[in-house]
Structure 1
Amino acid sequence: MPSPRDLASPLGRARMFFAMLSASKLRAPLGRILAGDGAPERPDVHEPLSRIDWLGPDGEVDAAALREITEVLGVMRSSEAILEVGRLDGIPVKTEDSREVSARIVRIVFERVGADRVLTEGELNAAIAMFAADVALVRRDAVDARVLTRSADGASYRLAPPA
């Protein structure tokens, strides 16, 4: 199984392929390449399609690369995904994006420990640390976003009731 560092490349390949499928001007030429009819000559179509590194202009595919992409997509859809993905080293800079990411992390924590649990700051920090390096930022963002409530003394936290 690929290490966390190896997930980005296969996921990027899959994302690129589906992005190309979503572009109407690339769909038919891509189909022709896959059918073995050769690469298109128009530069505005040839150039993007040439970036698919697992697909040759003659329709030959790198089967090992496709197996890796398929395996990684399967892992990312499984309950094992959390074991394969490294924690976030950075949180988005924009406040609304940061709060959104932090809120999602905290919701996942409480999905796992129980939505009705009250956690000490240490327990919450340990749980958040599994997802993000900047524990204090995630905790503060989640409080500011009203996803977490904090006791008056700051010693305990609970998931806020849905708005």
Structure 2
Amino acid sequence: MALSSDLDGALARARMLFAMLAAPTLRAGLGARLTGSAVDEDPGVRGPLSALDWLDAEGRIDLDTVRATAESLGFLRSDQVLLEVGRLEELPVDIEESREVSCRIVRTVFERVGPGRRLGEPELNAALAMFTANVPVVRRDAVDAGVLARTADGGSYWLAADQ
């Protein structure tokens, strides 16, 4: 169906649009451009607005791009998105951000296999590998954060809340 690059582009457009809507001068500039009254735009507004690949300087909208973006964003909310979006190849460099992502991955795994289950290390590794290329770091981050508990020998893992 949709390709990951289409999804990346749709997310980039949505993030950019919402960031502009959050800034009063950019919001006003966007409104002026959309209504065709953006003749004397401030360079600080014109620059960011020029990054919108679906809106030209005269206020004309590329409807094909807008429709494709809307379709991709809708796809992201479907259950089919798991078949398109790949796993994380890299974790954030920041330790706290890495732990946050790792814990979310572990919680997602246990939501799917059942929160009360205990998983052997090979079983847990296989489940984590569906989400990340860096299985040992995710497992260790989740243990260090107290989200994932394990036996002393590391042979069995479970959500810490389920002890």
Same fold (TM over 0.5): yes
In 1, Cα distance between the equivalents of 2:86 and 2:52?
26
Is 1:132 the equivalent of 2:138?
no
In 1, Cα distance between the equivalents of 2:79 and 2:40?
41
In 2, Cα distance between the equivalents of 1:36 and 1:125?
55
In 1, Cα distance between the equivalents of 2:85 and 2:125?
19
In 2, Cα distance between the equivalents of 1:138 and 1:73?
28
In structure 2, the partner of 1:102 is 102
In structure 1, the partner of 2:123 is 123
Q: Rate the CA distance shift 1:46–1:40 in 2: closer, same or farther, 3 A.
A: farther
In structure 2, the partner of 1:33 is 33
Query: Given that residues 7 and 76 in structure 2 are in contact (C-alpha distance below 8 angstroms), is that contact kept between their aligned partners in structure 1?
Result: no
In 1, Cα distance between the equivalents of 2:40 and 2:68?
27
SS of the aligned residue for 1:85 comes to coil
- The aligned runs of 1:82-93 (5 Å cut-off) are 82-93=82-93
Divergent runs of 4+, >6 A:
none
Size of the aligned set, in residue pairs, is 162
SS of the aligned residue for 2:131 comes to coil
In 1, Cα distance between the equivalents of 2:28 and 2:133?
44
SS of the aligned residue for 1:149 comes to strand
In structure 2, the partner of 1:3 is 3
Which deviates more, 108-117 or 153-162? 153-162
In structure 2, the partner of 1:45 is 45
Corresponding letter in the other structure for 2:148: L
In structure 2, the partner of 1:77 is 77
Structure 2: tracts of 5 or more residues without a match? none
SS of the aligned residue for 2:161 comes to coil
TM-score normalised over the length of structure 1: 0.93
SS of the aligned residue for 1:57 comes to coil
In 2, Cα distance between the equivalents of 1:39 and 1:55?
15
TM-score normalised over the length of structure 2: 0.93
Query: Given that residues 29 and 40 in structure 1 are in contact (C-alpha distance below 8 angstroms), is that contact kept between their aligned partners in structure 2?
Result: no
Q: Rate the CA distance shift 1:28–1:120 in 2: closer, same or farther, 3 A.
A: same
